[in-house]
Amino acid sequence: MIDKSMDLSGGLSTDTALELLSDARRRELLMALLERDLRDDGDARLPVENLAESGGRDLELRLHHSHLPKLESTGVVDWRRNANEIRTGRRFDELRPLLRLLRDHPDVLPGDRP
Protein backbone atom coordinates (compact mmCIF):
# COMPACT_ATOMS: atom_id res chain seq x y z
CA MET A 1 0.00 0.00 0.00
CA ILE A 2 1.27 3.47 -0.88
CA ASP A 3 1.54 6.08 1.86
CA LYS A 4 0.15 9.21 0.21
CA SER A 5 1.52 11.43 2.98
CA MET A 6 5.03 10.91 1.56
CA ASP A 7 6.60 11.52 -1.81
CA LEU A 8 8.77 9.00 -3.64
CA SER A 9 11.87 10.06 -1.71
CA GLY A 10 10.17 9.38 1.63
CA GLY A 11 9.61 13.06 2.46
CA LEU A 12 6.33 14.86 2.98
CA SER A 13 4.25 14.97 -0.16
CA THR A 14 3.19 18.34 -1.53
CA ASP A 15 -0.45 17.43 -0.88
CA THR A 16 0.27 16.60 2.76
CA ALA A 17 2.32 19.77 3.30
CA LEU A 18 -0.46 21.92 1.84
CA GLU A 19 -3.12 20.05 3.81
CA LEU A 20 -1.21 20.72 7.05
CA LEU A 21 -1.12 24.41 6.16
CA SER A 22 -4.75 24.55 5.03
CA ASP A 23 -6.10 25.30 8.50
CA ALA A 24 -5.49 28.75 10.03
CA ARG A 25 -4.97 27.35 13.56
CA ARG A 26 -2.38 24.83 12.35
CA ARG A 27 -0.61 27.59 10.39
CA GLU A 28 -0.59 29.78 13.49
CA LEU A 29 0.82 26.93 15.58
CA LEU A 30 3.48 26.07 12.98
CA MET A 31 4.47 29.73 12.56
CA ALA A 32 4.86 30.08 16.33
CA LEU A 33 7.02 26.96 16.35
CA LEU A 34 9.09 28.32 13.44
CA GLU A 35 9.74 31.60 15.24
CA ARG A 36 10.53 29.84 18.51
CA ASP A 37 12.87 27.45 16.67
CA LEU A 38 14.80 30.36 15.15
CA ARG A 39 15.17 32.05 18.57
CA ASP A 40 16.07 28.91 20.51
CA ASP A 41 18.69 27.47 18.15
CA GLY A 42 16.63 24.51 17.00
CA ASP A 43 15.24 23.47 20.39
CA ALA A 44 11.78 24.98 20.06
CA ARG A 45 9.21 24.04 22.69
CA LEU A 46 5.71 25.42 22.97
CA PRO A 47 3.40 24.73 25.90
CA VAL A 48 0.09 23.44 24.54
CA GLU A 49 -1.91 25.56 27.00
CA ASN A 50 -0.40 28.71 25.43
CA LEU A 51 -1.75 27.62 22.06
CA ALA A 52 -5.28 27.14 23.35
CA GLU A 53 -5.66 30.17 25.61
CA SER A 54 -7.00 32.50 22.92
CA GLY A 55 -9.68 30.11 21.68
CA GLY A 56 -11.15 28.64 24.83
CA ARG A 57 -12.35 25.10 25.39
CA ASP A 58 -13.43 24.56 21.78
CA LEU A 59 -9.94 25.27 20.46
CA GLU A 60 -8.38 23.13 23.19
CA LEU A 61 -10.53 20.19 22.09
CA ARG A 62 -9.71 20.72 18.40
CA LEU A 63 -6.00 20.93 19.21
CA HIS A 64 -6.02 17.70 21.22
CA HIS A 65 -8.33 15.70 18.98
CA SER A 66 -7.55 17.00 15.50
CA HIS A 67 -4.65 19.40 14.90
CA LEU A 68 -1.94 17.98 17.16
CA PRO A 69 -2.58 14.32 16.20
CA LYS A 70 -2.47 15.26 12.50
CA LEU A 71 0.79 17.19 12.89
CA GLU A 72 2.30 14.45 15.04
CA SER A 73 1.30 11.62 12.69
CA THR A 74 3.22 13.25 9.84
CA GLY A 75 6.30 13.85 11.99
CA VAL A 76 6.11 17.63 11.70
CA VAL A 77 5.73 18.06 15.46
CA ASP A 78 6.70 15.97 18.44
CA TRP A 79 3.80 16.19 20.90
CA ARG A 80 4.91 15.42 24.43
CA ARG A 81 1.62 14.78 26.15
CA ASN A 82 3.10 14.24 29.62
CA ALA A 83 4.91 17.58 29.47
CA ASN A 84 1.94 19.18 27.65
CA GLU A 85 4.23 20.70 25.02
CA ILE A 86 5.12 20.38 21.37
CA ARG A 87 8.50 20.54 19.69
CA THR A 88 9.65 20.55 16.12
CA GLY A 89 9.45 17.00 14.77
CA ARG A 90 11.78 15.07 12.48
CA ARG A 91 9.92 16.37 9.38
CA PHE A 92 9.51 20.01 10.45
CA ASP A 93 12.41 21.06 8.22
CA GLU A 94 10.53 19.76 5.17
CA LEU A 95 7.73 22.24 5.91
CA ARG A 96 10.08 25.11 6.83
CA PRO A 97 10.41 26.54 3.25
CA LEU A 98 6.63 26.87 2.92
CA LEU A 99 6.35 28.44 6.37
CA ARG A 100 9.06 30.95 5.47
CA LEU A 101 7.30 31.73 2.21
CA LEU A 102 4.08 32.48 4.09
CA ARG A 103 5.91 34.55 6.69
CA ASP A 104 8.10 36.51 4.28
CA HIS A 105 5.56 37.26 1.53
CA PRO A 106 2.19 38.02 3.11
CA ASP A 107 1.55 40.83 0.63
CA VAL A 108 1.74 38.64 -2.50
CA LEU A 109 -0.04 35.52 -1.27
CA PRO A 110 -3.83 35.27 -1.38
CA GLY A 111 -6.14 34.75 1.57
CA ASP A 112 -6.09 35.18 5.30
CA ARG A 113 -3.05 33.98 7.17
CA PRO A 114 -1.54 34.25 10.57
Q: How do residues 79-104 score in pLDDT, each as one tens digit?
A: 998 888 999 999 999 999 999 999 99
Q: Between the CA atoms of 20, 61, 44 and 92, what dihedral angle is there, to the nearest 10 degrees? A: -20
- How far does CA 35 lie from the centroid of its chain? 12
**In the β-sheet with 85-88, what is the strand arrangement from edge to edge?**
45-47, 85-88, 77-80
- Could you report the per-residue pLDDT of 24-53, keeping only the tens digit for each? 889 989 998 998 876 666 667 788 877 766
- How far does CA 28 lie from the centroid of its chain? 8
d(CA 38, CA 47): 17
* Residue 11 contacts residue 94 (beta carbons within 8 Å): yes
